[in-house]
Protein backbone atom coordinates (compact mmCIF):
# COMPACT_ATOMS: atom_id res chain seq x y z
CA UNK A 1 0.00 0.00 0.00
CA UNK A 2 1.35 3.43 -0.83
CA UNK A 3 2.30 5.76 1.99
CA UNK A 4 -0.38 8.42 2.13
CA UNK A 5 -1.19 9.53 5.66
CA UNK A 6 0.58 12.16 7.71
CA UNK A 7 1.04 9.57 10.47
CA UNK A 8 2.89 7.26 8.05
CA UNK A 9 5.03 10.14 6.81
CA UNK A 10 5.87 11.22 10.38
CA UNK A 11 6.95 7.66 11.16
CA UNK A 12 9.20 7.61 8.09
CA UNK A 13 10.65 10.99 9.02
CA UNK A 14 11.62 9.43 12.34
CA UNK A 15 14.20 7.35 10.46
CA UNK A 16 17.59 9.02 10.35
CA UNK A 17 19.85 7.65 7.58
CA UNK A 18 19.08 8.71 4.02
CA UNK A 19 20.99 7.58 0.93
CA UNK A 20 20.39 10.22 -1.73
CA UNK A 21 20.66 8.78 -5.25
CA UNK A 22 21.46 11.62 -7.60
CA UNK A 23 22.67 13.90 -4.82
CA UNK A 24 24.24 17.00 -6.39
CA UNK A 25 27.46 18.78 -5.51
CA UNK A 26 26.01 22.01 -6.94
CA UNK A 27 24.52 24.43 -4.39
CA UNK A 28 21.24 25.85 -5.65
CA UNK A 29 20.04 22.57 -7.15
CA UNK A 30 17.20 20.81 -5.32
CA UNK A 31 19.29 17.63 -5.29
CA UNK A 32 21.85 19.54 -3.18
CA UNK A 33 19.70 21.90 -1.13
CA UNK A 34 17.13 19.36 0.06
CA UNK A 35 19.67 16.80 1.39
CA UNK A 36 21.60 19.70 2.97
CA UNK A 37 18.40 20.82 4.71
CA UNK A 38 17.79 17.28 5.99
CA UNK A 39 21.42 17.09 7.19
CA UNK A 40 20.98 20.36 9.12
CA UNK A 41 17.94 18.79 10.79
CA UNK A 42 19.88 15.85 12.19
CA UNK A 43 19.70 13.30 9.39
CA UNK A 44 22.71 11.33 8.20
CA UNK A 45 22.99 11.92 4.45
CA UNK A 46 24.83 9.41 2.29
CA UNK A 47 25.40 10.89 -1.18
CA UNK A 48 25.23 8.52 -4.16
CA UNK A 49 26.56 10.06 -7.37
CA UNK A 50 29.17 8.38 -9.59
CA UNK A 51 30.07 11.68 -11.27
CA UNK A 52 30.87 13.85 -8.23
CA UNK A 53 34.17 13.90 -6.34
CA UNK A 54 32.85 15.46 -3.13
CA UNK A 55 29.44 16.29 -1.67
CA UNK A 56 28.99 17.72 1.84
CA UNK A 57 32.66 17.09 2.56
CA UNK A 58 32.46 13.37 1.72
CA UNK A 59 33.29 11.22 -1.24
CA UNK A 60 29.96 10.05 -2.68
CA UNK A 61 29.33 6.41 -3.43
CA UNK A 62 29.00 5.32 -7.04
CA UNK A 63 25.92 3.17 -6.37
CA UNK A 64 23.62 1.92 -3.63
CA UNK A 65 25.43 -1.42 -3.73
CA UNK A 66 28.66 0.34 -2.74
CA UNK A 67 27.23 2.01 0.37
CA UNK A 68 28.79 0.48 3.47
CA UNK A 69 26.58 2.16 6.08
CA UNK A 70 23.10 1.00 7.02
CA UNK A 71 20.41 2.84 5.04
CA UNK A 72 16.88 3.59 6.27
CA UNK A 73 15.57 5.64 3.34
CA UNK A 74 16.62 5.77 -0.30
CA UNK A 75 15.75 9.23 -1.63
CA UNK A 76 15.67 9.42 -5.43
CA UNK A 77 16.69 12.52 -7.39
CA UNK A 78 16.86 10.82 -10.79
CA UNK A 79 14.45 10.81 -13.75
CA UNK A 80 11.36 8.60 -13.51
CA UNK A 81 12.74 6.18 -16.12
CA UNK A 82 15.63 5.36 -13.75
CA UNK A 83 13.44 4.55 -10.74
CA UNK A 84 12.93 0.86 -11.57
CA UNK A 85 16.68 0.15 -11.54
CA UNK A 86 17.12 2.12 -8.31
CA UNK A 87 14.29 0.16 -6.69
CA UNK A 88 15.94 -3.09 -7.80
CA UNK A 89 19.22 -1.95 -6.21
CA UNK A 90 17.41 -0.97 -3.01
CA UNK A 91 15.68 -4.35 -2.87
CA UNK A 92 19.09 -6.05 -3.00
CA UNK A 93 19.78 -4.54 0.43
CA UNK A 94 18.25 -5.85 3.65
CA UNK A 95 18.51 -2.52 5.49
CA UNK A 96 16.37 -0.22 3.30
CA UNK A 97 12.84 0.22 4.65
CA UNK A 98 11.64 3.20 2.58
CA UNK A 99 12.10 4.31 -1.01
CA UNK A 100 11.16 7.94 -1.60
CA UNK A 101 11.00 9.71 -4.96
CA UNK A 102 11.10 13.49 -5.08
CA UNK A 103 8.43 15.73 -6.64
CA UNK A 104 7.60 14.85 -10.22
CA UNK A 105 9.41 11.49 -10.09
CA UNK A 106 6.98 8.57 -10.54
CA UNK A 107 7.05 4.89 -11.43
CA UNK A 108 3.89 3.09 -10.37
CA UNK A 109 5.21 -0.34 -11.39
CA UNK A 110 8.41 0.13 -9.38
CA UNK A 111 6.27 1.31 -6.45
CA UNK A 112 4.19 -1.89 -6.62
CA UNK A 113 7.33 -4.02 -6.81
CA UNK A 114 8.85 -2.28 -3.76
CA UNK A 115 5.62 -2.60 -1.77
CA UNK A 116 5.29 -6.28 -2.73
CA UNK A 117 8.79 -6.74 -1.28
CA UNK A 118 7.65 -5.17 1.99
CA UNK A 119 9.15 -1.71 1.48
CA UNK A 120 7.33 1.55 2.05
CA UNK A 121 7.20 3.71 -1.07
CA UNK A 122 6.62 7.46 -1.16
CA UNK A 123 6.49 8.97 -4.60
CA UNK A 124 6.44 12.44 -6.06
CA UNK A 125 6.79 14.17 -2.69
CA UNK A 126 9.50 16.46 -1.37
CA UNK A 127 11.31 15.32 1.79
CA UNK A 128 12.00 18.93 2.81
CA UNK A 129 8.39 20.04 2.32
CA UNK A 130 7.02 17.07 4.26
CA UNK A 131 9.59 17.49 7.04
CA UNK A 132 8.82 21.21 7.40
CA UNK A 133 5.07 20.54 7.33
CA UNK A 134 4.98 17.62 9.76
CA UNK A 135 7.85 18.11 12.21
Number of Cβ atoms within 10 Å of the Cβ of 53: 8
Least confident of 1-10, 18-27, 53-62, 81-90: 1-10
CA atoms of 12 and 88, how far apart (whole Å): 20
Q: List the beta strands (DSSP E) in 22-106.
A: 44-48, 73-76, 98-101
Contacts of 92 (CB under 8 A, 6+ apart): 64, 65
Each residue's pLDDT tens digit, 49-106: 999 999 999 999 999 999 999 999 999 999 999 999 999 999 999 999 999 999 999 9
Domains of the chain: 6-72+82-91+111-134 (3.40.50.720)
Q: What is the pTM of this model?
A: 0.97
Amino acid sequence: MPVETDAELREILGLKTIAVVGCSATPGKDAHNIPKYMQRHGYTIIPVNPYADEIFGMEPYDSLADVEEEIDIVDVFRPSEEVAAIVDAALERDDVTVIWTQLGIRDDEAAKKAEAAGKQFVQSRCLKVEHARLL
